[in-house]
């Protein structure tokens, strides 16, 4: 089917290196909505300076409006198994978008020693104290990022993900792929291709996660050939 929309993503093609872009690529691929991809867009030129954006029907849509657009071009989402599974999907989404995402950001080299990536500070609970200390007379500078704690929580999250997936075809036992599957795929793929071996090892030692990511990757890549 000829794609009638273009998804602006961060490079490379066919699978973006940015987790948010890859998530929406996977979402559209798993829903069977054909779109082309474009990787030469500077994020500064996107809506809210954030990729991905969807260029469709002579309009440019931000990421949060992609499901609404997809509903008009594809059969309705089959949804989760039951309302409890839908609620549970929110818990897993929080685990991935906070705990796992914090570990991915922590593994990225900071632009300077005194200023860790701003998105990382927004993900940590409790928030990191300044490098100069809370009680010192020095003005607050930088942030003390607890890398060991972030990594320990990441290990627990990946173990929980593996236990929950077990041998199911789709997460939470859904009969068809759901938005949660797209999100899980985006994070697993980003971790597997990451240069950080400590992150990668936690996923690669779990056979079910590797096999699941491999299977879903084939499906997503096929959609963007």
Partner 1 sequence: MSASEISLHVWPSQWGLSSLEPTCLAAVMYLQQVMPGKFSVVECNDPDFSPTGHLPYLVHEHHTVTSLGSIIKYITGLKATGPTRSSSNLDSSLSGTEKAQSIAWCAHVESNLGDIVSYALYSNQDNWAELMHPALASLYPIPQRYYIPGRIREMYRPRLESAGLWDLPIKEEEKKPFKIDKSWQKRQNTKLFQETFGRERVLEKARISLEIYARLLDEHDFIYRDRPTTLDIVLAAHILLLLKPEYPEPSIQNLIKHTHPALASHARRVFEHISSCPESQLRISSTPKFVWSSLIPWPSTAWKDGLSEEDIHFRRMRWGFYGLTLGSMAVYLAVSFQNVSRHLWK
Contact positions toward partner 1, by CB under 8 A?
Answer: 83-84, 87-88, 90-92, 94-95, 98-99, 118-119, 121-138, 140, 144, 146, 148-149, 152-153, 156-157, 159-161, 163-164, 166
Q: Which is nearer to partner 1, 29 or 95 (CB)?
A: 95
Identify which of residues 136 and 201 has a Cβ nearer to partner 1 in the complex: 136
Q: Are the CB atoms for 177 and 130 separated by under 8 Å?
A: no
> Which residue number, 58 or 148, has a Cβ lying nearer to partner 1?
148
The CB-of-205 to partner 1 minimum distance in angstroms stands at: 16
Are the beta carbons of 35 and 6 closer than 8 angstroms? yes
> Minimum Å distance from CB 137 to partner 1?
5
Q: Which is nearer to partner 1, 3 or 67 (CB)?
A: 67
Residue closer to partner 1 (CB basis): 76 or 83: 83
Phi, psi of 155 (to 5 degrees): -60, -45
Q: How far is the CB of 55 from partner 1 (least distance, A)?
A: 27
Compute the least distance from the CB of residue 147 to partner 1, in Å.
Answer: 9
178 closest CA partner among 97, 103, 70, 104: 70
* Burial of 222: CB neighbours in 10 Å, binned 0-12, 13-18, 19+: exposed
Question: Which one, 161 or 199, has the nearer CB to partner 1?
Answer: 161
Residue pair 115/130 in contact (Cβ under 8 Å)? The answer is no
- Report in angstroms how near the CB of residue 122 gets to partner 1 at its nearest: 4
- Distance (Å, whole) CA 123 – CA 53: 23
User: Rounded to the nearest whole angstrom, what is the least distance from the CB of residue 66 to partner 1 in the complex?
Assistant: 20
């Amino acid at each position: 089917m000829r794609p009638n929309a273009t998804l602006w993503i961060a490079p490379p093609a066919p699978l973006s290196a940015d987790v948010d872009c890859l998530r929406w690529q996977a979402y559209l691929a798993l829903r069977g909505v054909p779109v082309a991809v474009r990787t030469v867009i500077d994020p500064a030129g996107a809506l809210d300076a954030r990729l991905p954006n969807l260029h469709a029907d002579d309009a440019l849509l931000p990421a949060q409006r992609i499901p609404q657009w997809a509903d008009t071009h594809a059969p309705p989402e089959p949804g989760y198994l039951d309302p409890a599974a839908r609620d549970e999907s929110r818990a897993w989404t929080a685990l991935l978008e906070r705990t796992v995402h914090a570990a991915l950001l922590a593994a990225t080299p900071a632009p300077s020693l005194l200023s860790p990536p701003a998105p990382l500070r927004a993900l940590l609970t409790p928030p990191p104290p300044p490098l100069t200390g809370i009680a010192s007379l020095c003005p607050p500078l930088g942030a003390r990022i607890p890398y060991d704690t972030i990594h320990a929580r990441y290990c627990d999250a990946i173990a929980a993900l593996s236990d929950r997936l077990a041998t199911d075809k789709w997460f939470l036992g859904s009969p068809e792929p759901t938005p949660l599957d797209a999100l899980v795929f985006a994070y697993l793929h980003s971790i597997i291709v990451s240069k950080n071996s400590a992150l990668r090892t936690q996923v690669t030692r779990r056979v079910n996660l590797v096999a699941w990511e491999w299977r879903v990757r084939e499906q997503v890549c096929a959609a963007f050939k």
